[in-house]
């Protein structure tokens, strides 16, 4: 199904995976995909790590999920570093394979000769091309605290609102306070952009994960860091994991109460923490 249609029908529950690069990663992913089936996801999305090989792995995994027939899949497509001809071919291949949902992303410009040949500068260039190429349901990325390349938050919101005039919905970078999502949605509405913005959820389950998430652009609040540090002092790694999941459950409950159009879980290809959060919320 098309994701815009799923969102129109009511709140969605979705999960994000990345294509495996080894037999070990493939085994972990296969187990995770099997584990989430009982959760009845509305859709799953498959990321694109960058480069020609990763682009093919994303394509293969999305097609595999669609062929299995138990859940709708959305393919991430990154345009910066590619030519328009390459993107046209890729989008046509997805259309021919019956894939209806595309996450249109800009990505980082590679520091190599291949990247120098890029015919795209921003995600909106890919959004426009995707709309031209077929009847896709198109998602775009949203950053509650602003994209790293944006000059300021005001311009970031304008650019996102512009993308949403063409795209069908947005999915946010992970965040940890519900006010970050509500402020984003309110500011977009002031600009006339009212299409669904799915909040992205990623629990912090380790102390080392705090720095990793900050490096990925997630603003981990000091209050949450303090909770996790105190949990570590009380009971070590298991207590940190429990506290991180508890914080994520509270965040999701607040988002549901704020009428979020769904919840999008970043799984890192592992299902256990996501499953615990899901069961706490919906069972």
Which of helix, strand or coil describes residue 140? strand
For the chain, what is the radius of gyration of the CA atoms? 18
Distance CA 242, CA 51 (A): 36
Q: Between the CA of residue 154 and those of 65, 193, 239, what are the distances in Å?
A: 38, 14, 39
Cβ-proximal residues to 46 (8 Å cutoff; 6+ apart), any chain: 16, 17, 18, 19, 58, 61, 62, 65, 73, 74, 75, 76
Name the catalytic one among 16, 180, 187, 243.
16
Phi, psi of 264 (to 5 degrees): -115, 115
Q: How many CA atoms lie within 13 A of 131 on its CB side?
A: 14
Verify whether residue 119 is a known catalytic residue.
no
Distance CA 170, CA 153 (A): 17
Distance CA 45, CA 64 (A): 12
Element (DSSP H or E) covering residue 220:
none
Count CB neighbours of 40 within 10 A. Answer: 11
Cite the active site residues. 16
């Amino acid at each position: 199904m098309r994701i815009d249609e799923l969102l129109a029908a009511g709140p969605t529950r979705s999960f994000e995976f990345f294509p495996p690069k080894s037999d070990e990663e493939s085994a972990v992913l296969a187990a995770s995909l099997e584990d989430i089936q009982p959760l009845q996801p509305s859709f799953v999305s498959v990321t694109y790590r960058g480069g020609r090989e990763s682009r093919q792995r994303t394509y293969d995994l999305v097609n595999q999920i669609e062929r299995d027939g138990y859940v709708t899949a959305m393919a991430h497509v990154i345009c910066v570093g590619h030519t328009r001809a390459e993107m046209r071919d890729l989008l046509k291949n997805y259309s021919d394979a019956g894939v209806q949902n595309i996450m249109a992303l800009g990505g980082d410009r590679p520091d190599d000769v291949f990247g120098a040949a890029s015919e795209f500068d921003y995600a909106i260039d890919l959004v426009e091309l995707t709309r031209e190429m077929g009847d896709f349901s198109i998602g775009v990325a949203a950053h509650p605290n602003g994209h790293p390349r944006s000059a300021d938050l005001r311009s970031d919101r304008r650019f996102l609102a512009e993308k949403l005039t063409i795209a069908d919905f947005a999915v946010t970078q992970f965040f940890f306070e519900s006010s970050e999502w509500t402020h984003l949605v309110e500011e977009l509405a002031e600009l006339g952009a009212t299409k669904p913005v799915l909040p992205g959820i990623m629990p912090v389950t380790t102390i080392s994960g705090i720095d990793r998430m900050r490096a990925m652009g997630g603003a981990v609040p000091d209050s949450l860091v303090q909770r996790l540090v105190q949990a570590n002092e009380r009971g070590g790694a298991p207590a940190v994991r429990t506290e991180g999941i508890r914080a994520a459950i509270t965040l999701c409950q607040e988002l549901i109460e704020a009428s979020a159009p769904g919840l999008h879980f970043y799984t890192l290809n592992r299902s256990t923490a996501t499953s615990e959060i899901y069961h706490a919320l919906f069972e």
